[in-house]
Amino acid sequence: MEKLIETQDLYTDFFTFEGVVKALNGVSVVVNEGETYGLVGESGCGKSVTVRSMMRIVQTPGKIVDGKVVIFFRAEDRSRGIDILKRSETYMTSLRGDSISMIFQEASTSLNPVLSIGFQVGESFNFHRRAQMLEETIQDLEKELAARVFFLIRGWKAMQRALFRRELAVLRSYEAEIDRIDHELYEIENQNDRKSLHRKVLLNRRRDRLREKSFLVEFLKRFPFISYYQRRETKTVRRHVVELLRSLGVPNPDRVVDSYPHELSGGMQQRIVIAIALACHPVLLIADEPTSNLDVTIQAQIVDLIKQLKQTKISSVLFITHDLGLVAEICDRASVMYAGDISETAEVREIFHNPLHPYTQGLLRSVPKIKQADQLNTIPGTVPGLVNPPSGCRFNPRCPSKMDICAQEKPLLIEHSPGHWVACYLYTDGNK
Amino acid sequence: MSLLNYIIRRLLFMILVLFGVSLLVFSVLMLIPPGMRVAAYVTSEKIPPDQIEAMIELYGLNDPAPVQYFRWLARIFRGDLGFSATAEAPVIEGFKKFFPITLELVLYSTPLIILVGIWLGTTGAVKKDKPADHAIRILAIVGYSLPTFWLGLLLLMFFYGFLGIFPPGILSVKGGEVINAAGWNRVTGLITIDAIINWRWDIFLDALYHVALPTINLIILDSALIMRLMRSSMLEALGQDYVRTALAKGAPSRVVYHTHVRRNALLPVITISGVLFAGLMAGMVITETIFVRKGIGWWMARAALQLDVPAIMFNVLFLGLIFVGVNLIVDLIYAAIDPRIRLG
Amino acid sequence: MSSEVLTTDIKTKRPSGHPGWNEFVFSMKRLFKNPLTIIGVVIILFFVVLAVFAPILAPPPRPHNPFLMPHKGWQIQPTPPSAENPLGTLPSQYDILYGVIWGSRNAFRIGIAVVAANLLVGLILGSIAGYFGGILDEIVMRIADIFYAIPILVMAMALVVALGRGLKSVVVVLIILNWPTYTRVVRSEILVVRNMDYILAARASGASHLRILFKHVLPNSIFSAIIVASMNVGVTVLIAAALSFLGLGSDSGYADWGAMVATCRNYIVGPPENRLAYWYLVFIPGFTIALFVLGWNLLGDAVRDVFDPRMRRR
């Protein structure tokens, strides 16, 4: 299987009033093409921070302080990949929502209460597929102009078409320029001499400064009545939104498009959030505990939906959860995280049948079994605070198999058997 | 249905509060000895001292309070509000003369105050903890602490005294003559509007010239409130989850601020705009006194000094009415804008 | 095995002492990290010194009524700062420096009197409304709404007319008009606390309403009221000064900052050769008020920021 995205030794810190919270302690995750990858762990272990670092939307006061996030989205990138931590913010903005999308836990608060559903879903189309929307609008206008029409209306439509054409032309030249810049950046990606670094900075800055809008169009958009011409394009977008909602199983999409988030049920809201994420057919969908707040029946629906979509619209899914049962059901591979460290990574079957890391073993042991009659198993102790985390392996204070070296140095993630990685001194130097 | 419900409830509430206000004003009125209260019933200027007792009896000013209250209410509903010594005219006439002046200043200041406040508040939130933000916060706190009268006097001293521009008053002497002459068509009472109606641009500019400094004064003082509110409201909105969704969608930060955050942040500001408007009406007392603009604030100040009871009572009632009315309108606007209320 | 492993490696500072005190210390530390707080406190302390040491800094010529400003002569025209009158004089030769010093004592008297009385009234009424709820609550809140409906300055003017002029009236009037603010704050705090489990537990073990109110409810609700009080001192003094400025407060010659500002209305513009001649008159008394209010507002802002639950643990 081909790699799709990977993080290499990611360190993310939060600089708070009470001290520096070392949230990620060298996290390395690899997601392959076409697979569903699970990220499991207790609350506060850093799962959300990991994916937010991957998308570079870590909230202040957090900062990514070290490591790489490499993507292999295009066929040409297979050999090398692009380290997106070194790219400009505009590059990230174009990635987010287009190639990588994210859905969240609480759908009701994830939607803006004062904007309509149609507007919010339409934004995805307007940010990333505007050229396509403009083209379709122009085509529609051409068709209408070909028919016989009263001359004043004809004039209005012609003006609309002209303005859209102008916007499209500027947009196209902008995109061409961006492509050129990105291409050159890719060429010199791995060159780190002074000249290359300087060139990279220049290119990134230029990329950020490019204006993708025509001045005339922007000016007219702010004009009170003339700006109404934009409504034509809104109609096109609306068509796409309705279609998208229908394909996701939302009943009465025409009415839903005009309604507001608070008028919908929890399951429906989550579908809208998924719609927003899928509008542009992302390569990677990151799902941050999307079902944790829903009823079990709705949860099943959403999970089915995601499974279905994986076959049709998306390539890979990165699923974050603390529910091991869910992992068993839908994930191909999974990683177990603890306090900012990756403990173990393997195929799901391997994790359940052959857990190597003491933490994973403890987790699996603590799941109550049907025939269990005695006390529930727990892992003694509590999750440590991350301002002053335990040294070495962060699990060592609670580990039943703790050795001296565990508190001294952090264990590296090594491939114990093909495809099964574990970060534990029990499995180094020929132990076990 | 719930929108109608909401409106009806607010209307009923407003009526209740108005009655309460009238009761309150009346109780204050009752604290004043009857001898002074007689002034309300007189249509000429002075009452011969020997007749006071007789008049007190005549108008039942020694009757039990509830009786007087309803009598007083009835008089108000009939439109008989008494005679104001400071205005040298019946209270109603005084009101017609003075209110437009105040209204003019308030109408010019309020939108500017709100706009400046929103603009600076947004900038402060967007550039949080950068120098611009600190400067704005300091500006806001200083503006908030300045006494109204002090800033006005300082501005007058500097601009008018030292530089010779922006004189106090409503119009220059020449302008005043034009207004009071025969050819002047007094439609609204607001000088600037009337000037346009009368097609006298020189008067229009003159009035504008005189209204500039009080407006600047009010802007400095009151936009601080809006600034602080807008800033904290935006910061709060920025912490919400939907901002995270917008970012994950690939929205450029400009769009996030202007489309998503600002709309939500504006809601509290709208509520306070009502308070601002009504508060401005009240605060006019000091501003008009300093800049010698003869509006209801100026009238009120003089009435208080000269114990002109009818004028004071009327003004308090009127301002209470404005306050309640404006709050109602603001509530309605809020309901229209926030889809959560509009659609239940 | 498990418990020993647990305690050795976890390096947390175990806080000692009463949790309330720890919170207080934490709050104080947060408070003073903010430079604006320090400025505010310094300003307030400055005025406190002025007020407390007034008899020493500016010995009153008439010990039985120290608030009457001294004046040498009856010349109307104000004189600029000189060796004799370091800050200049008001019209009729009242010494500005004396007025500023004794004025701070006056301002504190007014401010503290009003705020203290309001706190008391607010606590009582707020407790009744919040704790007992029901129709008592409705009545109190409706009356508060009515008071809110009328702008303070205007109402204050009306009341002062009714009660007669003078500083005593001003104080009374401000107390009467400010009570809704405090009552509301106390009431909303109590509403939150009232539903907490420990209150329920106290009722279940047979404590009387009064006891619960005093021992459990009030100590937790009083904080917000104190915050509001500290923020309100500035505004109160401002309104009192405004009333004095309009002539509704003290008599002329009294060391009241607002009254001092009022005297300068005829002297905004000096003679043509020196149009800013009376700058000291316009600037100094008003600046004192502004500084005083600024100090309290800075402190109040900082206090509010520290105690705002959303920003507390950042």
Average pLDDT (B60-65) is 68
Average pLDDT (C234-243) is 86
Instruction: Kindly indicate the confidence band of residue B48, based on its pLDDT and cuts at 50, 70 and 90.
Output: low
Cα distance between residue B285 and residue B102, in whole Å: 10
Of C145, C154, C279, the CB nearest to B282: C154
* Tens digits of residue pLDDT in B219-237: 988 888 889 889 888 888 8
Does residue A96 sit at the B interface (CB-CB below 8 Å)? Answer: yes
* Tens digits of residue pLDDT in C23-46: 667 667 777 777 778 888 899 899
* Tens digits of residue pLDDT in C158-193: 777 777 777 788 888 888 888 888 888 888 777 777
Say yes or no for a CB contact (<8 Å) between A98 and B337: no
Instruction: Kindly indicate the confidence band of residue A29, based on its pLDDT and cuts at 50, 70 and 90.
Output: very high
Percent of chain C with pLDDT over 90: 2
Average pLDDT (A234-244) is 92
HSE-up (13 A, CA, CB side) for residue C219:
7
Yes or no: say if B260 and A129 are a contact pair by the CB < 8 Å rule: no
Instruction: Kindly indicate the confidence band of residue B296, based on its pLDDT and cuts at 50, 70 and 90.
Output: confident
Say yes or no for a CB contact (<8 Å) between C149 and B281: no
Which A-chain residues 392-421 have CB contacts (< 8 A) with chain C? 396-398, 400, 402, 407
Say yes or no for a CB contact (<8 Å) between B264 and A109: no
- Of B132 and A223, the structure prediction assigns the larger pLDDT to B132
Of C10, C313, C314, the CB nearest to A384: C10
Average pLDDT (A194-215) is 82
Residue B1 pLDDT greater than 60, yes or no: no
Of C8, C9, C314, the CB nearest to A16: C314
Which chains sit next to A, with 3 or more Cβ pairs under 8 A? Answer: B, C
| pLDDT score for B112 | 92
Of C157, C268, C298, the CB nearest to B141: C298
Say yes or no for a CB contact (<8 Å) between B20 and C286: no
Query: What SS3 string covers chain A?
Result: CCEEEEEEEEEEEEEECCEEEEEEEEEEEEEECCCEEEEECCCCCCHHHHHHHHCCCCCCCEEEEEEEEEECCCHHHHCCCEEHHHCCHHHHHHHECCCEEEECCCHHHHCCCCCCHHHHHHHHHHHHCHHHHHHHHHHHHHHHHHCCCCHHHHHHHHHHHHHHHHHHHHHHHHHHHHHHHHHHHHHCCCCCCHHHHHHHHHHHHHHHHCCCCCHHHHHHHCCCCHHHHHHHHHHHHHHHHHHHHHHCCCCCHHHHHHCCHHHCCHHHHHHHHHHHHHCCCCCEEEEECCCCCCCHHHHHHHHHHHHHHHHHCCCEEEEEECCHHHHHHHCCEEEEEECCEEEEEEEHHHHHHCCCCHHHHHHHHHCCCCCCCCCCCCCCCCCCCCCCCCCCCCCHHHCCCCCHHHHCCCCCCEEEECCEEECCHHHCCCCC
* Tens digits of residue pLDDT in C263-303: 877 777 767 676 677 777 778 888 989 999 999 888 888 77
Say yes or no for a CB contact (<8 Å) between B25 and C158: yes
Residue with tokens 């995601």, as numbered in its chain: A306
Does residue C1 sit at the A interface (CB-CB below 8 Å)? Answer: yes
Say yes or no for a CB contact (<8 Å) between B141 and C265: no
Yes or no: say if B136 and B227 are a contact pair by the CB < 8 Å rule: yes
How high does pLDDT run on average in chain B? Answer: 80
Size of interface A-B (CB pairs under 8 A): 82
* Tens digits of residue pLDDT in A247-261: 888 999 999 999 999
Average pLDDT (A108-135) is 90
- Which residues of chain C are within 8 Å of residue B154 when distances are taken between CB atoms? 282-283, 286
Does residue A385 sit at the C interface (CB-CB below 8 Å)? Answer: yes
| pLDDT score for A372 | 72
Instruction: Kindly indicate the confidence band of residue A387, based on its pLDDT and cuts at 50, 70 and 90.
Output: confident
| pLDDT score for A77 | 65
Most confident range, picked from A339-343, B22-26, B193-197, C93-97: A339-343
- Of B292 and C271, the structure prediction assigns the larger pLDDT to B292
Mutation for A interface: B127, B249, B258, B263, most A CBs within 10 A: B249
Instruction: Kindly indicate the confidence band of residue B116, based on its pLDDT and cuts at 50, 70 and 90.
Output: very high
Which C-chain residues 55-94 have CB contacts (< 8 A) with chain A? none
Average pLDDT (C111-130) is 85
- Which residues of chain B are within 8 Å of residue C141 when distances are taken between CB atoms? none
How high does pLDDT run on average in chain C? Answer: 76
CA nearest C286 in B: which residue? B150
- Which residues of chain B are within 8 Å of residue C264 when distances are taken between CB atoms? 153
| pLDDT score for B75 | 76
Average pLDDT (C74-80) is 73
Cα distance between residue B261 and residue A184, in whole Å: 36
Residue A353 pLDDT greater than 70, yes or no: yes
Instruction: Kindly indicate the confidence band of residue C309, based on its pLDDT and cuts at 50, 70 and 90.
Output: low
* Tens digits of residue pLDDT in A186-200: 888 777 788 888 888
Name the minimum distance, in Å, from the CA of B315 to any CA of chain C: 8
- Of A88 and B341, the structure prediction assigns the larger pLDDT to A88
CA nearest A384 in C: which residue? C10
Instruction: Compute chain C's Rg from CA coordinates.
Output: 25
Residue C58 pLDDT greater than 80, yes or no: no
Instruction: Kindly indicate the confidence band of residue A276, based on its pLDDT and cuts at 50, 70 and 90.
Output: very high
Residue A105 pLDDT greater than 60, yes or no: yes
Name the minimum distance, in Å, from the CA of A366 to any CA of chain B: 32
Name the minimum distance, in Å, from the CA of C9 to any CA of chain A: 6
* Tens digits of residue pLDDT in C195-208: 777 777 777 777 77
* Tens digits of residue pLDDT in B124-147: 888 887 888 888 988 888 888 888
Query: What SS3 string covers B161-205?
Result: HHHCCCCCCCCCHHHHHHHHCCCCCCCCCCHHHHHHHCCCHHHHH
| pLDDT score for C193 | 73
Average pLDDT (A5-10) is 90
Say yes or no for a CB contact (<8 Å) between B312 and C158: yes
- Of B313 and A423, the structure prediction assigns the larger pLDDT to A423
pTM of the model: 0.79
Region of residue A249 (left: phi > 0; alpha: psi -120 to 50; beta: else): left
Instruction: Kindly indicate the confidence band of residue A37, based on its pLDDT and cuts at 50, 70 and 90.
Output: very high
| pLDDT score for C308 | 65
Tokens of B241: 């989850």
Residue A120 pLDDT greater than 90, yes or no: yes
| pLDDT score for C3 | 38
- Which residues of chain C are within 8 Å of residue B286 when distances are taken between CB atoms? 153, 242, 245-246
Percent of chain A with pLDDT over 90: 21
Average pLDDT (C7-12) is 38
Name the minimum distance, in Å, from the CA of B241 to any CA of chain A: 5
Dihedral sign for Cα A217, A221, A222, A226, please. positive
Mutation for A interface: B240, B242, B270, most A CBs within 10 A: B242
Instruction: Kindly indicate the confidence band of residue A53, based on its pLDDT and cuts at 50, 70 and 90.
Output: very high
Say yes or no for a CB contact (<8 Å) between C5 and A384: no
Most confident range, picked from A427-431, C61-65, C285-289: C285-289
- Which residues of chain A are within 8 Å of residue B255 when distances are taken between CB atoms? 123
CA nearest A382 in C: which residue? C6
| pLDDT score for C314 | 42
Residue C12 pLDDT greater than 50, yes or no: no
Does residue B269 sit at the C interface (CB-CB below 8 Å)? Answer: no
- Which residues of chain A are within 8 Å of residue B248 when distances are taken between CB atoms? 55, 57, 96-97, 101-102, 104, 277
The helix/strand/coil state of C164 is: coil
Residue B2 pLDDT greater than 70, yes or no: no
Cα distance between residue A243 and residue A236, in whole Å: 11
Which chains sit next to B, with 3 or more Cβ pairs under 8 A? Answer: A, C
Name the minimum distance, in Å, from the CA of C23 to any CA of chain B: 25
Instruction: Kindly indicate the confidence band of residue A237, based on its pLDDT and cuts at 50, 70 and 90.
Output: very high
Say yes or no for a CB contact (<8 Å) between C5 and A407: no
Residue C4 pLDDT greater than 60, yes or no: no
Of C152, C245, C294, the CB nearest to B149: C245
* Tens digits of residue pLDDT in B245-269: 999 998 888 888 888 888 888 888 8
- Which residues of chain B are within 8 Å of residue C157 when distances are taken between CB atoms? 285, 300-301, 304, 312
Residue C6 pLDDT greater than 90, yes or no: no
Say yes or no for a CB contact (<8 Å) between C149 and B21: yes
3-state helix, strand, coil in chain B (%, to 5): 80, 0, 20
Residue C1 pLDDT greater than 50, yes or no: no
Does residue B167 sit at the C interface (CB-CB below 8 Å)? Answer: no
Cα distance between residue C296 and residue B78, in whole Å: 48
Cα distance between residue B290 and residue C265, in whole Å: 8
* Tens digits of residue pLDDT in B75-102: 777 776 776 767 677 778 888 888 888 8
Average pLDDT (A214-238) is 80
